[in-house]
Chains A and B, each alone.
Chain A
Amino acid sequence: MGPLEILWLAIVVFFVLIAFVRGYPRELGVTTVIFGALFLITFFLEKYLPRFINFLSSELSLQLTERQLQHFYALFYSLLFLVVVFWAYAGETFSFQGKEHKGAGGFVLNFLVGLLNGILVASTLWYFQVAYKYPVADFKNAAGQSVFLTLPLTSFAQSLVTYVPANVIPPIFWGAMLLLMLIARVRK
């Protein structure tokens, strides 16, 4: 395994551990917010932000290269996504009502929700790198070596990247999931 998939796995494990501490009714609230963020970014922002940036750069006579724009989009979407996820955990959390299962059943459910949230967060951050041709690989030290990521990816990472949810699922799916979660939240 290379550094990228190890980082991906570490984030997933981290979210699983958080889920064990917080319990799945609270974590489902985070899942809802993640669906919302994915819908917002992939359905709206990825479509309209480039138009706005084009308009802005022509109005301000900015000469931005394609690579600079790729750096900007990857960074902007990643930061926005992370802020939204952080917001889901901070303060008054958007938790689901209902009594939590205890014992082995509760353990499995906490593991499942942690796995889902972890995979969604880690894979979405990865997706922003894939979609904008790995801007993070451009950061090099004085010796010309990549600081964060060396391309090409390992064969395992290349097989993993084909299953990144935001890469294979159409944006409207996240809207449908958000709706499903909100209905379930209201109904309970």
Chain B
Amino acid sequence: MTNIAETAVLFLLIIAFFAWLGYRRGFIGELVKFGMILLAFAVGQKSMLGATVIRVINSVWLIFQIIINGGLRLLLSGDLSGDSLSQVLNEAKNAGPLVPPTAGDSLLFVLMILLIILAFFVGSRVKRKSSRLLGVFMGIVNGLALIYIFRPYLSGKPLLPPLNTSSPLAALASLFGTAFDLLLLPVNWLQNALGLLFVPVLIVAIVLILLRSLRS
């Protein structure tokens, strides 16, 4: 069972890791990273920038639908009568939004993750020399920010299945089983998303990976 002391040790280890990252990167790099993490957090929340992001995506999608449903043809022919325009608009609206209300949260979460990855990438690109001591401080701030961002997602269902610790061998088998399940996770995801179509997609993907790996 996890008690307070163990949680505190784990927490300190995570914070120490971010402090070490801050020490290596310096203050400016960590500051840039912090700004991007804040932006990612804002994009991930519907009440902040999330709703606007979804609105923009759906608006772009509507414009695209108007164009492919005859809008471009109307514009080029100069026939901008009310009837033609309303017909095109109705057809475009019938396609529905690209991001339906039910899928919004998942999309925003993925966008937030991508922006956080980008934050680490951009932060590591900053070459300007700056205070390492302040970098440690800023690294701790970034670590705390990420813990707070991800806490709601981790506090519910356990992330990994419980490890079978009845014997060292059972624990090892359980660990390998979990690792295998994690490896197969993308395949499972592909199967759920594409159904039986995942079989040819997987074959093509493997062949392309192999062909790309041949060095001339």
Query: Do the two chains belong together in a single complex?
Result: yes
Known contacts A116-B203, A163-B196: A109-B215 contact under CB 8 Å: no
Q: Is B206 an interface residue (CB 8 A)?
A: yes
Contact of B196 among A25, A100, A109, A168 (CB under 8 A): A168
Given the complex of chains A and B, what is the CA–CA distance between A188 and B211 in angstroms?
A: 10
Chain A-chain B contacts (Cβ-Cβ < 8 Å), number: 58
Given the complex of chains A and B, what is the CA–CA distance between A163 and B203 in angstroms?
A: 12
Q: Are B199 and A165 in touch, CB under 8 angstroms?
A: yes
Q: Please choose the segment from A69-77, A131-139, A173-181 that sits at the chain B interface, where 4 or more of its residues have CB less than 8 A away.
A: A173-181
Q: Are B211 and A112 in touch, CB under 8 angstroms?
A: no
Q: Are B210 and A24 in touch, CB under 8 angstroms?
A: yes
Given the complex of chains A and B, what is the CA–CA distance between A96 and B210 in angstroms?
A: 11
Known contacts A98-B215, A162-B196, A163-B196: A109-B203 contact under CB 8 Å: no
Residues facing A in B165-205 (CB within 8 A) are 196, 199-200, 203-204
CB neighbours (8 Å) of A112 from chain B are 206, 209-210
CB neighbours (8 Å) of A173 from chain B are 200
Q: Are B210 and A113 in touch, CB under 8 angstroms?
A: yes
Interface size class of A (residues with CB under 8 A): 20 to 34
Q: Are A98 and B203 in touch, CB under 8 angstroms?
A: no
Q: Is A152 an interface residue (CB 8 A)?
A: no
Q: Are B207 and A169 in touch, CB under 8 angstroms?
A: no
Contact of A109 among B199, B200, B204, B210 (CB under 8 A): B210
Known contacts A177-B207, A181-B207: A105-B196 contact under CB 8 Å: no
CB neighbours (8 Å) of B206 from chain A are 112-113, 115-116
Q: Are A188 and B207 in touch, CB under 8 angstroms?
A: no
- Which residue on chain A has the smallest CB distance to residue B197? A168
The 4 closest A-B pairs by CB, nearest first: A98-B214, A99-B215, A168-B196, A184-B211
- Other A-B pairs, 18, CB within 8 Å; known A112-B206, A184-B211: A28-B211, A31-B210, A96-B214, A100-B214, A100-B215, A101-B215, A105-B213, A109-B209, A112-B209, A112-B210, A116-B203, A165-B200, A168-B200, A169-B200, A177-B204, A181-B207, A181-B211, A188-B214
Could you pull out 21 A-B pairs where Cβ atoms are within 8 angstroms?
Answer: A24-B213, A25-B214, A28-B210, A97-B216, A101-B213, A105-B213, A109-B210, A112-B209, A112-B210, A113-B206, A113-B210, A162-B196, A163-B196, A165-B199, A165-B203, A168-B200, A169-B203, A177-B204, A181-B211, A184-B211, A188-B214
